[in-house]
Amino acid sequence: MTDIRGKVALVTGGASGLGRLMASKLARRGARRIVIYDVDQQAIDETVREIESQGGQACGYLCDVSDRSVVYEVAERVRDEVGDVEILINNAGVVTGRRLLEATDEQIEKVFGVNTLALYWVTKSFLPYMMERNEGHIVTMASAAGIVGVSKQTDYSASKHAAIGFMESLRVELKRYGYDGVRTTIVSPYYVNTGMFEGVKSRFPRVVLPILDPEKVAEKVMRLIERNRQEIKMPPIVTTVPALHVLPADVLDWIMDFFGVNHSMDEFVGHAKGKNRETSWASGRSR
């Protein structure tokens, strides 16, 4: 078991959505200090005030996690002003929700910058201390879209496939070189109802493929950390998806169509809620 009490915990994209919920839950479980990375200063301030009003200790940093130089600079400030991070939750994420030829090159690069490359910069910032003590926990919020491709998610799905590959490789690398006390967790949920995927539809929302409740997902992540679980897929039916890859591609596509997965993004609007998608797609900075 991992005891969250007394630990310094950092959540990227921690000022809204799922990130904000997880930051609050870490504080309620006794984390010594919660560090928030986000790109919205007002939301950072509100989150810090919320945590402190509940008796926790928090601080926030304006940080675009896709900018490597900024990440390393902010990490130095965190170590100087707060201390070494012992629990890291890589949560920040963006999505375009466009077909390949509709997404601009800059949007595609931003998706990979936030969803994939940021994992390297943020994790490298705090992993040396964890390795020195052979203790710590790194969580990455991946996605069910990182297990199977989804229509209108050529960038997002690929970035989450890469996120899963990153975490699986990191896990075995740490074990291989004797750092088995540094734990890792991959979380691969179906759509979470935070607004980031506003407008998505599920063909079987009640039992088989529900749009997930962010409060329940955040609580589940806390229990995964405490129990040192290496991975989870949500809801349970998502655990069957890897096995489906043994089937011919046409059969796999038929199954995904039957469950409505490849039509789930047809009415997607994201945080924009119908506003100009060209300028507002990146507002989905966290789940």
Query: Which residues are annotated as catalytic?
Result: 156
Q: Is 180 exposed, middle or buried (0-12, 13-18, 19+ CB in 10 A)?
A: exposed
Q: Which amino acid makes up residue 92?
A: A
φ/ψ of residue 239, rounded to 5 = -65, -20
Give the three-class secondary structure for 240. Answer: helix
Vertex 120, ends 114 and 126: CA angle to 5°? 115
Return the structure tokens found at 65: 């996690």
Q: What is the DSSP string of 50-61?
A: HHHHTT--EEEE
Please give the DSSP secondary-structure letter assigned to residue 232.
E
Burial (0-12, 13-18, 19+ Cβ within 10 Å), 274: exposed
3-state secondary structure of 195: coil
Identify the bridge partners of residue 192 per DSSP, sorted by sequence position. Answer: 212
Radius of gyration of the CA atoms of the chain, in A: 18
Phi-psi region of 199 (alpha: psi -120 to 50; beta: other; left: phi over 0): left
Q: Other CB atoms closer than 10 Å to residue 67's CB: what's the count?
A: 16
Whole-angstrom distance, CA of residue 160 vs CA of residue 164? 6
